[in-house]
Chain A
């Protein structure tokens, strides 16, 4: 079912010696779409990216663009751009020289215009003559983005482009990245281990576990139905409950659970504030920005966190499940 346009990946496998880093991955990407490839470190997400770019030899599988096989085409003729984790700007060239690297065949005036255009786009207008060493980490990554976009890659592969930056900058640049990719209608695969980043940047999210795609879909679909306990846990559902445990905590009877488990999200366990729910002992309270995180022991003995507007004075708290913030997933077996 190769699509007429865009990227098609079939059975892509990358091996390092006896280790299988990417295990027969299938993937389709429509033109202009941004896909976030989300996975823990060691899940094979960077290897998959490098395999698509042609930087890592494939043990098996095929990569097509618009239905045409690109596997035999050398890296530099694929038209697939890569933005590296640490930018990999060329230290011997200034900012303008770096951005112009991929468009050196254009006439000088066009080239200068293209550089200006892209620096403008990433918010670094007028930085052409600046030395690479004079840039901050965030600026360097923006130059790297401009550089990789300059030659109009038909596909841009971003390998954890923001992971070396601090959190506030990351949250800001994620916005810059998405708006830039959308403004240039760039088809992109964005590799990250950060769930928030993936959800903020992508049209679709693919969760990679042990070299296989465990779940793929729009951010809200993936979040609402993670499909497996492993994906749910990776996405931040902290507690998994059996049907009995869930019913003990007030899971509505009109939602039958046959053999499935309930994954409790960050807001899935809530204090009732009245006589409803189950009384659970409070173990620990931590002040967070805007709320208090409370650790409690659930009836079956496991610990769980929940949020409350202020500190609790009593030794116990009545809690219940909020199905809107829980996911029902089939067990792995």
Chain B
């Protein structure tokens, strides 16, 4: 060998003993999977299982009494009917209105598109309580749409559900639509298909898995909606979720609440099964996508209808409540005022135990803790699940692991909060007095979103990148750091945003766990809106604006460091 180009082989080539002993890495991966699993077991499975057990009898031994009682009452069936009606109608409306939006915002190029995409996404991360308050401001007395008489009505709740879930449909379906290879449609057109036939026979089958998976997800969110129903449902509309809360906190009938939770678990598990089935088909479809982008420039003839529908939804369903919320928070009977904002420094005529700004500080502290927990666990889960082992058994275990960490998405936050209440307030784990329960519960709720934000980015790494690194002499650790690391960093921003936004707005579990002297902002808003009086409603509006701004700011920062691979939500 020539002297200048080929010094002696590096030591690693001389077949000396193995560095990075394989068992160390196996132990490491096992730990990385075991840690989040243990967390999930203690803070999710155990409380939920305890709840289920409580439904089947508790102290006096196993009985189906409580479940039978609950299932026998006409009230339960009415509530179940309301829940399903709201979920089905909310899903249908979100999908019907979301599909044109997905097309316009992802398959069509026009100036201002990224701004439009960001604006459409804001409602999804807004606290549900804020969404409820905003719609009450629109439809309630002296609201701009008060003449419709829709306050505390079915259409009002469905509008709010669409407001909240529109982005889920647009992003899930649009994410696929924008990346469809346009040549498939072009091929159909050259074979004599009209634009309508090409859409029906080529585009629609391609995006169908995304539509189905978005619909299942939206159904899940609608069926377990809590904050919106609590604020907007009044006395006429209660769902399984609100009924659990009512039975627990107002009637103190724990077996009945547990029985309701079980009913909900069954419904939600079914929906989740459909979701996982469709999303596995979804992933297959994504892999087939061409490199060519499915985008085309805007033309009135082709995109006019989608534009009109999307603009109408954007203005009437998305913008109107937000604008109303802001404007009403700045007005009282006499005219423009900032008195509602000034009231945030007080306990609002002693309606509250602490001033709103103290609740805001609580919210921020709790959100920071919840985000840290959710990120730490989410990163571990994503790293483990994104491996590609050769064995069929190992691959199956990873799929199960993936599904396990999606479960909190399906089990309602109220159930989690209630479960915490009955398991973690006595030995061996008495955490009721420590404030850590709230961030843990919120981290559980946020975990699926965190994993959904990081995992697609890691899965987008070509496995041959890792092979290339290995052939260049990089061991498992260096591959993880140099190949996975940079992608992980890109996904983590969005994940942190989701976690923080979820935590800031979380109401279902927090309403169970927050101590009266340490409320978070959503808890305070709910308390304010539940009291009569202009001052209370005004303060609720002002606090909602504040919380919405904070959440939007968090998501805006997260979107700035958002990767091109997009998340699955």
B-contacting residues of A (Cβ < 8 Å)?
Answer: 53, 55, 57, 68, 70, 73-82, 84, 88, 90, 92, 101-102, 105, 117, 147-148, 150-154, 157, 183-185
Contact A79 B468 (CB under 8 A): no
B7 at the interface (CB under 8 A from A): yes
Given contacts A81-B471, A82-B467, 4 further A-B contacts (CB under 8 A): A75-B471, A78-B13, A88-B464, A90-B465
Contact B470 A151 (CB under 8 A): no
Contact A148 B471 (CB under 8 A): yes
Q: Which residue of B lies closest to A79 (CB)?
A: B13
A-contacting residues of B (Cβ < 8 Å)?
Answer: 1-2, 4-7, 9-10, 12-13, 15, 18-19, 22, 390, 462, 464-465, 467-475, 482-483, 486
Q: Which residue of B lies closest to A55 (CB)?
A: B467
When distances are taken between beta carbons in the complex, the residues of chain A under 8 Å from B482 are 90, 101
Alpha-carbon gap, A88 to B469, bound state (A): 9
When distances are taken between beta carbons in the complex, the residues of chain A under 8 Å from B19 are 77
Q: Which residue of A lies closest to B467 (CB)?
A: A55
> How many residue pairs bridge A and B at CB < 8 Å?
93
Min CB distance A157 to B, Å, is: 8
When distances are taken between beta carbons in the complex, the residues of chain B under 8 Å from A88 are 462, 464-465, 467-468
Contact A73 B15 (CB under 8 A): yes
Known: A101-B469, A185-B1. Contact between A70 and B15, CB under 8 A? yes
Known: A117-B5, A152-B7. Contact between A75 and B13, CB under 8 A? no
Sample (20) of A-B pairs whose CB atoms are under 8 Å apart: A55-B467, A55-B471, A73-B18, A74-B22, A74-B475, A75-B471, A77-B12, A77-B15, A77-B18, A77-B475, A78-B13, A81-B471, A84-B467, A88-B468, A90-B465, A90-B469, A90-B482, A147-B472, A153-B471, A183-B2
Q: Which of A57, A70, A76, A81 sits near B475, CB closer than 8 Å? A: A76
When distances are taken between beta carbons in the complex, the residues of chain A under 8 Å from B12 are 76-77, 79
When distances are taken between beta carbons in the complex, the residues of chain B under 8 Å from A68 are 15
Contact A75 B15 (CB under 8 A): no
Contact B13 A53 (CB under 8 A): no
When distances are taken between beta carbons in the complex, the residues of chain A under 8 Å from B471 are 53, 55, 75-76, 80-82, 148, 153, 157
Contact B465 A151 (CB under 8 A): no
Contact B15 A152 (CB under 8 A): no
Min CB distance A147 to B, Å, is: 7
Min CB distance A273 to B, Å, is: 48
Contact A79 B474 (CB under 8 A): no
When distances are taken between beta carbons in the complex, the residues of chain B under 8 Å from A157 are 471
Known: A82-B467, A88-B464, A90-B483. Contact between A74 and B18, CB under 8 A? yes
Min CB distance B226 to A, Å, is: 42
Contact A84 B464 (CB under 8 A): yes
Q: Helix, strand, loop or mixed for chain B's interface?
A: loop
When distances are taken between beta carbons in the complex, the residues of chain B under 8 Å from A185 are 1-2, 5-6
When distances are taken between beta carbons in the complex, the residues of chain B under 8 Å from A184 are 1-2, 5-6
Q: Which of B9, B470, B483 sits near A76, CB closer than 8 Å? A: B470
Min CB distance A129 to B, Å, is: 18
The 7 closest A-B pairs by CB, nearest first: A79-B13, A102-B472, A92-B486, A75-B470, A82-B471, A88-B468, A76-B470
Q: Which residue of B lies closest to A56 (CB)?
A: B390
Q: Which of A117, A147, A152 sits near B10, CB closer than 8 Å? A: A152
Q: Which of B4, B15, B472 sits near A151, CB closer than 8 Å? A: B472
Q: Which residue of A lies closest to B471 (CB)?
A: A82
Contact B2 A76 (CB under 8 A): no
Min CB distance A92 to B, Å, is: 4
Alpha-carbon gap, A82 to B12, bound state (A): 16
When distances are taken between beta carbons in the complex, the residues of chain B under 8 Å from A148 are 471-472
Alpha-carbon gap, A317 to B474, bound state (A): 64
When distances are taken between beta carbons in the complex, the residues of chain A under 8 Å from B465 are 88, 90
Alpha-carbon gap, A90 to B474, bound state (A): 13
Contact A57 B15 (CB under 8 A): no
When distances are taken between beta carbons in the complex, the residues of chain A under 8 Å from B7 are 152
Min CB distance B259 to A, Å, is: 48
When distances are taken between beta carbons in the complex, the residues of chain B under 8 Å from A79 are 9-10, 12-13, 473
Alpha-carbon gap, A152 to B2, bound state (A): 12
Q: Which of B1, B2, B6, B474 sits near A101, CB closer than 8 Å? A: B474
Alpha-carbon gap, A185 to B390, bound state (A): 35
Q: Which residue of B lies closest to A85 (CB)?
A: B464
Known: A70-B15, A151-B10. Contact between A81 and B5, CB under 8 A? no
Contact A101 B472 (CB under 8 A): yes
When distances are taken between beta carbons in the complex, the residues of chain A under 8 Å from B483 are 90
Min CB distance B255 to A, Å, is: 52
When distances are taken between beta carbons in the complex, the residues of chain B under 8 Å from A105 are 10
Contact A183 B5 (CB under 8 A): yes
Q: Which residue of B lies closest to A31 (CB)?
A: B1
When distances are taken between beta carbons in the complex, the residues of chain A under 8 Å from B9 are 79, 152, 154
Alpha-carbon gap, A185 to B1, bound state (A): 6
Alpha-carbon gap, A28 to B363, bound state (A): 69
When distances are taken between beta carbons in the complex, the residues of chain B under 8 Å from A76 are 12, 469-475
Alpha-carbon gap, A105 to B475, bound state (A): 13
Alpha-carbon gap, A133 to B70, bound state (A): 63
Min CB distance B347 to A, Å, is: 52
Q: Which residue of A lies closest to B13 (CB)?
A: A79
When distances are taken between beta carbons in the complex, the residues of chain A under 8 Å from B470 are 55, 74-76
Min CB distance B563 to A, Å, is: 12
Contact A151 B473 (CB under 8 A): yes
When distances are taken between beta carbons in the complex, the residues of chain B under 8 Å from A73 are 15, 18
Q: Which residue of A lies closest to B468 (CB)?
A: A88
Min CB distance A94 to B, Å, is: 13
Q: Which residue of B lies closest to A69 (CB)?
A: B15
Q: Which residue of B lies closest to A100 (CB)?
A: B472
Alpha-carbon gap, A19 to B472, bound state (A): 30
When distances are taken between beta carbons in the complex, the residues of chain B under 8 Å from A151 are 10, 472-473
Q: Which of A70, A90, A92, A102 sits near B473, CB closer than 8 Å? A: A102
When distances are taken between beta carbons in the complex, the residues of chain B under 8 Å from A78 are 13
When distances are taken between beta carbons in the complex, the residues of chain B under 8 Å from A154 are 9, 13
Which among B1, B18, B464, B468 has the greatest number of chain A C-beta atoms within 10 A? Answer: B468
Min CB distance B457 to A, Å, is: 13
Alpha-carbon gap, A79 to B9, bound state (A): 9
Alpha-carbon gap, A70 to B7, bound state (A): 22
Min CB distance B387 to A, Å, is: 15
When distances are taken between beta carbons in the complex, the residues of chain B under 8 Å from A147 are 472
Alpha-carbon gap, A53 to B469, bound state (A): 12
